[in-house]
Amino acid sequence: MFQLTVISDLIRISPHLFHLPTEEAVQNELNIKYANKVVHRLGLIVAVWDLLEVQDGLLKPGDGAVFVNVRFRAVVFKPVVGEVLTGWIESCSAEGIKINMNFFNDIFVPKNYMFEGSYYSADDNAWIWKMDEETKLYLDINEKINFRIEKEVFNDVRPKGPDNSLTSLAVDDQTNGADGADRKSPPYALVASCQTDGMGCVSWWE
């Protein structure tokens, strides 16, 4: 679930940090830049673990700051496919279940990755697994749940340049408002499943 990854970067140290030891100033800037951020194709950076190399500072004409080349290790949240994790059901819909792990909540179990015989109940706002004719198990909001990672999805969320074509303007007019915000994809998301023994609500298997 968590990995140590080596990253190299050029860090800008502002003049107001010059009173600090170099390594402390560098680590502060690294945490500001990376902590709780998604790096494309890498994962969610949780925190800076340690510094491997801090080179001498470089000056840039017209800038009072110091630029330092550093190599460091970061704690990265990046589960592997097939890994089983535990979280809490954040919401349910006809499309599936969204899961929250407190520090990360872009986890989704699509309806086709649910137990065979499962269906969504709008009245209960929950997914129900019909094991047999007499037994129904509920996947309710806030229930603790085990799930299996099936796929990770990285999305490029960098802002796009303006498009002045009339067609683009017409499309924008139709997609303005709250609905547009709902269509924004997270930079990093996980697709999970609940299809095997031990998956689903933790209380089922206790």
**pLDDT tens for residues 148-189?**
999 999 988 766 656 544 434 333 443 343 344 445 789 999
Matching residue, tokens 């179990």: 109
What pLDDT score was predicted for residue 52? Answer: 95
Q: How far is CA 24 from the centre of its chain?
A: 28
Per the CATH hierarchy, to which homologous superfamily does domain 84-160+181-205 belong? Nucleic acid-binding proteins (2.40.50.140)
What pLDDT score was predicted for residue 67? Answer: 94
In sequence order, what are the residues at sequence separation of 6 or more whose Cβ sits closer than 8 angstroms to the Cβ of residue 107?
87, 98, 99, 100, 101, 147, 189, 190, 192
Listed by start position, the domains of the chain span 2-77, 84-160+181-205
What pLDDT score was predicted for residue 176? Answer: 42
Matching residue, tokens 């609500």: 201
Per the CATH hierarchy, to which homologous superfamily does domain 2-77 belong? RNA polymerase Rpb7-like, N-terminal domain (3.30.1490.120)
User: Cβ distance 187 to 154 under 8 Å?
Assistant: yes
| Mean pLDDT taken over the chain | 86
Lowest mean pLDDT among 56-70, 97-111, 174-188: 174-188
Model pTM above 0.75: yes
What pLDDT score was predicted for residue 135? Answer: 86
Alpha-carbon distance 97 to 106, whole Å?
11
